[in-house]
A and B are shown apart, each in its own frame.
Chain A
Amino acid sequence: MAEIVIKGVAKSFGAFTALHSVDLTIADQEFMVLLGASGCGKTTLLRIIAGLETPTHGEVWIGDRRVDHLPPRERGIAMVFQNYAVFPHLTVFENIAFGLRMAKLPQAEVTRRVTRTAELMHIEQLLKRYSGELSGGQRQRVAVARALAMEPDVILMDEPLSNLDALLRLEMRAELKGVLAESKTTTIYVTHDQVEAMSLADRISVMNGGYIVQADRPTQVYRNPAARFVGSFIGNPPMNFLPAKRSENGRWQVAGQDFEGPETAAAEFAIRPEDMHPAEAGLEAEVRVVEPLGPHTLITAQVAGQPFRAVLESDRAITPGEVITLAPIPDRIRWFDPETQKAIA
């Protein structure tokens, strides 16, 4: 059992505040992804959980133990580093065995665990090599095997796939998901890649400017962003936002169209690019760029002077300069408070 509880954790580096009082609970065996742009504090939070960084305030609990004052080795964690950190002076076998040797496990157990994890990561034929003789992908496998061999309660991963090329990343992503689900560990995975986050996570914590903006299931984060930032960060292309005005009849005016909306004084209209279809009535969009993507066509247009994107079925030919009308799917429309930037329920 390794539930992780983070209570009011904050971190400042001099005058710079990397984390503002973060609260987060990660369930036992959950796969939690910390997602955000660089500098949002996600790596700092991971390093605090690992014990490589000391929080300025707050508590970290793993299982039933408060660990924020403990050194990393007493926390029951293993970690995969962004640059792999596979020791160059040790063979692959000794790299995987490193933590086991430090824990003074008997040789037979070391051999058993190294062999098992090496097989799991398909590197059993590389055990005698040095890391200088391995490719990036192979080093990554060694780094993961080294973490798995510890049979830890918690595995922490710091952008483990970001140094791999696109194809390899896709392959490793699927493999990681399978291996980690099998291992029954709690996983915290840091990435700036939203696709990686969506495909791996049980839950995603979207971070921005040292805050956790939303922590929820991937579909929830995608469908119901808790804040404007989440909508604009997740999704490729991201959510469209249009200013809205309250009209006399209590409805909302968006680019000359009438919509049902919330009972607030001010609101901003938002819709995902794929949640629209061409129709007789709707938002008037002046098409600027047309990008056929095969199954869909990506349209970059202007609506009421605002940049606006739509992903449409590719069966209809659209040309730049054309004006099309797009009808948003009513229950996919989202509203945000322009003041607080938060979603209006």
Chain B
Amino acid sequence: MARALPYLLLLPASLFLLAFFFYPFGLVVVESLTRGGEWTTENFSRMTGHWKFSQAFWNTVWLAAIVVPVQLIMALTMASVVQKLKTGRSGLLYIFAIPLGISDLAAGLIWLAIFEQSGFLNSILHAMGVIDRPQLFLGYQSLWVIFLAVCLAEIWRATAIMMVIIVAGMGLIPKEYNEAAEVFGASRWQRFTKVTLPLLRPSLQTALILRILMAFEVFAVVVALGGTTLPVLMGETFQWQFQLQDRGVAAAYAMVILGLSVAFSLVVLRLLHVPKGARI
């Protein structure tokens, strides 16, 4: 009985997950592979045949490829600084964590208020005399501006989550390792690359996987800033499901996002693998 107790206590949550996650998930898988009750790959060929697919795919991948490394470097820098603080540490952490409390749609709208034709950026540039009339930044003629705005909004919004995880991870590294490295001749940068980073691998795994999954699911920020001008995978899923009423193709898109997420999670796990016996 005593041995079964933990499992019994976890049973409701497990059942809940099975019922409300795995079952619908199974349904989506089936949905993506059937059409009119027949097993087929037509959903996927329809998806890839559409002119927006490759744009959406590459936009999503490029967004992740730019946003995640920038965030990683920023989060590591910020965490290292926060780590060194003697006072005011938790206060700063709260400030950094404020964007975490805002939904991605709200974040997108905040950045829209900056970039739109009557937005802050236009007002400031006009007031400084740089431009004589409001500019259309987020138009379809200048996709790269939308792309840049999305990158900025994403970086602003979700760097804190990585930083919080990395700060926690850095707190777990005994300071003697750093001191030993210092005594044995490592410079500040070498201590960071040869001691802190390798010992931080478990936290980096968590932070990167979490962040990469979020990056592949980017949606509301893109919609707020660019509507459908800048197609992304999640946006296309939404389009096919609700505008085009084609659940099969929407499910196929969902499968693509899932595939990307799993593939990159595996890559991160592999790259940041810590051999047994080499853990703190």
Q: Which A residues have a C-beta under 8 Å from some C-beta of B?
A: 50-52, 71-73, 77-79, 81-83, 85, 87-90, 98-99, 102-103, 129-133, 146, 150
Contact = CB atoms under 8 A, between A and B. Distances in A.
Nearest to B280: A88
Contact of A132 (B180, B185, B190, B276): B276
Interface in B148-171: none
Contact of A85 (B177, B185, B198, B278): B177
The interface size bin for chain B is: 20 to 34
Q: 9 closest Cβ contacts across the A-B interface?
A: A99-B184, A102-B185, A132-B277, A85-B180, A130-B277, A73-B185, A85-B176, A89-B198, A133-B277
Interface in B175-216: 176-177, 179-187, 190, 194-195, 198-199, 201
Nearest to B195: A87
Most chain A CB neighbours (cut-off 10 Å) among B184, B186, B274: B184
A220 B180 CA distance: 35
Given A78-B183, A78-B184, A89-B199, A83 B174 contact: yes
Given A129-B277, A132-B278, A88 B199 contact: yes
Given A52-B179, A71-B182, A87-B195, A130 B278 contact: yes
Most chain B CB neighbours (cut-off 10 Å) among A89, A102, A103: A89
Nearest to B200: A89
Given A89-B199, A103-B185, A81 B278 contact: no
A162 to B, nearest CB: 14
Given A102-B186, A102-B190, 12 more contacts: A52-B179, A73-B186, A79-B180, A79-B183, A83-B174, A85-B176, A89-B201, A90-B278, A98-B186, A131-B277, A132-B277, A132-B278
A72 B178 CA distance: 12
A126 to B, nearest CB: 12
A83 B278 CA distance: 16
Contact of A73 (B177, B183, B274): B183
Interface of B: 174, 176-177, 179-187, 190, 194-195, 198-199, 201, 274-280
Contacts of A129: 277
A81 B185 contact: no
Given A85-B179, A87-B177, A98 B199 contact: no
Contacts of A51: 182-183
B279 to A, nearest CB: 6
A81 B180 contact: yes
B65 to A, nearest CB: 27
B197 to A, nearest CB: 9
B276 to A, nearest CB: 7
Contacts of B198: 89
Nearest to B274: A89
A50 B179 CA distance: 10
Contacts of B186: 73, 98, 102
Contacts of A88: 199, 278-280
B182 A85 contact: no
A130 B274 CA distance: 11
Most chain A CB neighbours (cut-off 10 Å) among B177, B198, B276: B177
29 contacts: A50-B183, A52-B179, A52-B182, A72-B182, A73-B183, A73-B186, A73-B187, A79-B180, A79-B183, A83-B174, A83-B176, A85-B174, A85-B179, A87-B177, A87-B181, A87-B195, A87-B199, A88-B199, A88-B279, A88-B280, A89-B198, A89-B201, A90-B278, A103-B185, A130-B275, A130-B278, A132-B279, A146-B184, A150-B184
A73 B184 contact: yes
Contact of B183 (A77, A90, A130): A77
Nearest to A156: B183
